[in-house]
């Protein structure tokens, strides 16, 4: 029997089931509700495939935490090789906080959390984040819009998700201010871009030969 190597950390992706009108709402004026959902589908599929490969090489446990849809729909969409968990209720901060707390209860190991809307996120960022957590309490991947595309922690710090102006350009700066007030050491990765707004859509061209013809969701 082949022995399975123990995981060294947990990598959690936060995403939504691509239901028109419920996801990527800031892109609806440019793409329509169906087009925004289709883009969400494509970006999630791209990153799940990439992160599965990273996790296999780096002995990480991959989880996809989803909002909307059902467990059966997630399996039908992304397959059976991924661990799916429903996100909790509340705003983004509550959901992030809950995911970290649940993860630390289940495994006493570092947790990295990423979204599904940063197609430039790659293996080098995951490895750098894991390395940073050997020396620091937290690691953040700054997004060009003022948020972050990655957050990693070695233990729970629920205050990092409280009193944050979610969706605003001050999310990263507010989070860093909380780490300072709590005496936590933090390191920053290279900044990357999320695809959240119509002006971000050109970034998808590097990943889609015909980014103006986003295929329909087939679920």
Question: Is position 72 within any domain?
Answer: yes
Backbone φ and ψ for 74, nearest 5 degrees, come out as: -65, -40
What Å distances lie between residue 171 and 53, 76, 147, CA to CA? 30, 34, 5
Question: Is position 1 within any domain?
Answer: no
Q: How much is the pLDDT for 138?
A: 98
C-alpha radius of gyration, the chain, whole number: 17
Number of domains within the chain: 1
Q: How much is the pLDDT for 108?
A: 85
- Biggest alpha carbon distance in the chain? 54
18 close to 37: Cβ distance less than 8 angstroms: yes
Mean pLDDT by 10 residues, the chain (219 residues): 67 96 92 93 95 94 95 95 93 96 93 96 96 96 96 96 95 97 97 93 76 43
Q: Which helix (H) or strand (E) holds 62?
A: strand 60-67
What domain range includes position 126?
9-205
Q: How much is the pLDDT for 171?
A: 97
Q: Domain with 37 in it: what CATH number? A: 3.90.550.10
Q: How much is the pLDDT for 209?
A: 57
């Amino acid at each position: 029997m082949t022995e399975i190597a123990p995981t060294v950390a947990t990598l959690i992706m936060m995403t939504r089931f691509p239901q028109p009108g419920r996801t990527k709402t800031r892109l609806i004026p440019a793409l329509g509700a169906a087009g925004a959902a289709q883009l969400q589908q494509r970006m999630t599929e791209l990153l799940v495939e990439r992160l599965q490969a990273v996790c296999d090489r780096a002995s990480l446990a991959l989880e996809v935490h989803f909002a909307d849809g059902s467990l059966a729909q997630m399996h039908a969409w992304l397959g059976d090789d991924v661990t799916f968990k429903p996100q909790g209720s509340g705003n983004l901060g509550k959901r992030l906080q809950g995911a970290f707390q649940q993860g630390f209860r289940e495994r006493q190991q570092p947790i990295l959390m990423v979204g599904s809307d940063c197609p430039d996120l790659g293996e080098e960022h995951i490895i750098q984040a894991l390395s940073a957590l050997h020396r620091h309490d937290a690691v953040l991947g700054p997004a060009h819009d003022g948020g972050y595309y990655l957050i990693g922690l070695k233990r729970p710090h629920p205050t990092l998700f409280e009193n944050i102006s979610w969706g605003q350009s001050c999310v990263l700066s507010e989070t860093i201010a909380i780490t300072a007030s709590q005496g936590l050491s933090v390191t920053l990765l290279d900044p990357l871009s999320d695809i959240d707004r119509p002006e971000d859509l050109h970034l998808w061209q590097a990943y889609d030969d015909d980014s103006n013809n986003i295929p329909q969701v087939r679920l």
